[in-house]
Amino acid sequence: MAKRKTKYVCHECGYESAKWMGKCPGCNNWNTFIEEIEVTGGRHKQSFQTGARSIGKPEKITSIETKEEPRITTTMKEFNRVLGGGIVPGSLVLIGGDPGIGKSTLLLQISSHLADKQLPVLYISGEESTKQTKLRADRLGVKSGLLYVLAETNLMDIANQIEAVKPSFVVIDSIQTIFREEVSSAPGSVSQVRECTSELMKLAKTNGIPIFIVGHVTKEGAIAGPRLLEHMVDAVLYFEGERHHTYRILRGVKNRFGSTNEMGIFEMKEEGLREVLNPSEIFLEERSQGAAGSTVVASMEGTRPVLVEIQALISPTAFGNPRRMATGVDHNRVPLLMAVLEKRVGLMLQNQDAYIKVAGGVKLDEPAIDLAIAVSIASSFRDQPTKPDDIFIGEVGLTGEIRRVSRIEQRVQEAAKLGFKRVICPKNNLDGWTTPDNIEVIGVNSVQEALNLGVSR
């Protein structure tokens, strides 16, 4: 006879406990345990994959033959870029994002593009009926006869339909609605999400079918469920952006078949998502000319250089402890750079409130933006604007030195393409490459030198 046993599972890391605990010993988060019912002693859970089990033998790595797998490309170049050049057959990709951000719209457009290339596509919706999906497809202009739609949440039935249709591309929207009958927990629980993802991974690898699954996000912005879910899939994509703004950012945070931190820009239109091929112009189109505290930096997003504007506002504080606020950059980096400016340059910033923002809603996390932040702070504090055609690139050390950054040539070429006239960068980055003719590249060794060039007293 099967026995029912209660257990508590952390929905952040998957840690299991026989009793409820306020703090998880696995991830040290509070109030993350949820109750689940486990059935023991009954029939064993069976995998959907049948056939004789093959036992592999160890091989010498030098004797293993490999070949380049052809990727499935779509008409959206931005989508192909984020995935590293296209969709890899047999891959399992997880897409997360806030509700209403456009995940289903993006995947339905991708499905339509692949179906137009005579590739059968199976779109499985666990949250909408087939008629609701058809209404969205009509709005997006989807008319391909090779796009199949299924409203189902039972994983066994989904596996049977995949076997019957034999599609070249599968979309699961969303993984939190899919369930296995052998697992007694409710759909969306840690056990269900983990087991369903494991079976979908076996389906993708065995049949060579790329499967895209949509994952809900928590209020903190992370994909709901244990972190194990992100470890099981081949690629993790985040669809970011404000619901009340038109621009969306598709960011790759994990990719086994390409570089991470790749970024694709889309614009939400009435007829669907439209790709933005030159995001630097979008981020700089509303920049104020002659405003103090505004600088431009060339940041690398994966393999693409993107020019973004960094804004700073420095004002005298009205409280005992000055405020330090940052949007789009690490908030710990702001007081560090202000301390360097105060100690090495002599700016009295200890009684000033500081507000730093990256225009356009982009999040920057590389050290090459340090110099641009420091220059924008000094520009706002002195109330002296920087030159509108200057670019600042460099990492700032605690002794005030400017350290070299990676891929300086690509950054400078992007700046020259958009009409900037001067680049202030680390002096150690000037060797080994030829600068473009239509832009001046100046190397500096310290923050003081950069401020003397970029911000007048």
Interval 264-281 mean pLDDT:
88
Interval 128-137 mean pLDDT:
93
Identical fold, 73-277 and 282-454? no
Task: Give the C-alpha separation, 365 to 136, whole Å.
Answer: 36
104 is in an annotated binding site: yes
98 is in an annotated binding site: yes
Examine the pLDDT at 154 and tell me if it is beyond 90: yes
The most confident of 6-10, 13-17, 270-274, 343-347, by mean pLDDT: 343-347
Three-state helix/strand/coil letters over the chain: CCEEEEEEEECCCCCEECCCCCECCCCCCECCEEEEEEEECCCCCCCCCCCCCCCCCCCCHHHCCCCCCCCECCCCHHHHHHCCCCECCCCEEEEEECCCCCHHHHHHHHHHHHHHCCCCEEEEECCCCHHHHHHHHHHHCCCCCCEEEEECCEHHHHHHHHHHHCCCEEEEECHHHCECCCCCCCCCCHHHHHHHHHHHHHHHHHHCCCEEEEECECCCCCECCCCHHHHHCCEEEEEECCCCCCEEEEEEEEECCCCCCCEEEEEEECCEEEECCCHHHHHHCCCCCCCCCEEEEEEEECCEEEEEEEEEEEEECCCCCCCEEEECCCCCHHHHHHHHHHHHHCCCCCCEEEEEEECCCCCCCCHHHHHHHHHHHHHHHHCCCCCCCEEECCEECCCCEEECCCCHHHHHHHHHHCCCCEEEEEHHHCCCCCCCCCCEEEEECEHHHHHHHHCCC
103 is in an annotated binding site: yes
Interval 257-269 mean pLDDT:
87
Task: Give the C-alpha separation, 307 to 282, whole Å.
Answer: 9
pLDDT for the residue 130: 93
pLDDT for the residue 295: 95
Lowest mean pLDDT among 27-41, 217-231, 241-255, 356-370: 217-231
184 is in an annotated binding site: no
363 is in an annotated binding site: no
> In the CATH scheme, what architecture does the domain 73-277 have?
3-Layer(aba) Sandwich (3.40)
* Predicted confidence (pLDDT) per residue in 57-100, tens digit: 888 988 888 777 789 999 999 999 999 999 999 999 999 888 88
* Predicted confidence (pLDDT) per residue in 79-90, tens digit: 999 999 999 999
14 is in an annotated binding site: no
100 is in an annotated binding site: yes
Give the list of residues 6+ apart from residue 65 with CB closer than 8 angstroms, or none.
Answer: none
**Tokens matching residue 177:** 């609605």
Examine the pLDDT at 2 and tell me if it is beyond 60: no
* Predicted confidence (pLDDT) per residue in 307-330, tens digit: 999 999 999 998 888 999 999 999
pLDDT for the residue 3: 66
* Predicted confidence (pLDDT) per residue in 106-125, tens digit: 999 999 999 999 999 999 99
Taking the domains of the chain in order of start, what are their residue ranges? 3-40, 73-277, 282-454
pLDDT for the residue 111: 95
What percent of the chain lies above the pLDDT cut of 70? 91
Task: Give the C-alpha separation, 6 to 36, whole Å.
Answer: 6
pLDDT for the residue 222: 63
102 is in an annotated binding site: yes
Fold of 282-454: Ribosomal Protein S5; domain 2 (3.30.230)
- Average pLDDT in the chain: 88
* pTM for the model: 0.79
Cβ 185 vs Cβ 146: under 8 Å: no
- Higher pLDDT: 164 or 229? It is 164
Task: Give the C-alpha separation, 346 to 355, whole Å.
Answer: 20
pLDDT for the residue 217: 74
Interval 179-184 mean pLDDT:
86
